[in-house]
Amino acid sequence: MQKNYGDEYVNLGKRIAYYRKKRRISQEEFSKGLDCSIQEVKAIENDYSVSKDLATGIWSVKDLDFLFAIADVLEVDVPVFFLPISDETFEKYRTDK
């Protein structure tokens, strides 16, 4: 039986949104930096639990390279997306210092 990772996707999307906002990057700017649609950004940040098989799902369409691209645009290391959200975590994992 395959595990449903819906909650993990939601938490990942929340973390991505949090760090995007910390960088004061709009969803439109973020989508341009990632070379994707604003609908994809909204799906990643808000509606991630809908289905990872939808065309807007980061894992089904973009694969893990997309997660690394997100980290590059936000200037953070990838592990930050799997740790508790906090200013301390942000400062520790930012790559623009």
Tell me the pTM. 0.77
Distances (CA, A) of 15 to 37, 45, 77: 19, 8, 12
Distance CA 60, CA 5 (A): 13
Distance CA 31, CA 84 (A): 24
What confidence tens digit (pLDDT) does each residue in 57-95 have? 544 445 678 889 999 999 999 999 999 999 999 999 999
Ordered by where they begin, the domains of the chain are 6-93 (1.10.260.40)
What confidence tens digit (pLDDT) does each residue in 1-37 have? 677 777 787 888 899 999 999 999 999 999 999 988 8
Q: Which residues are bridge partners to 94 per DSSP?
A: 76
Distance CA 93, CA 53 (A): 30
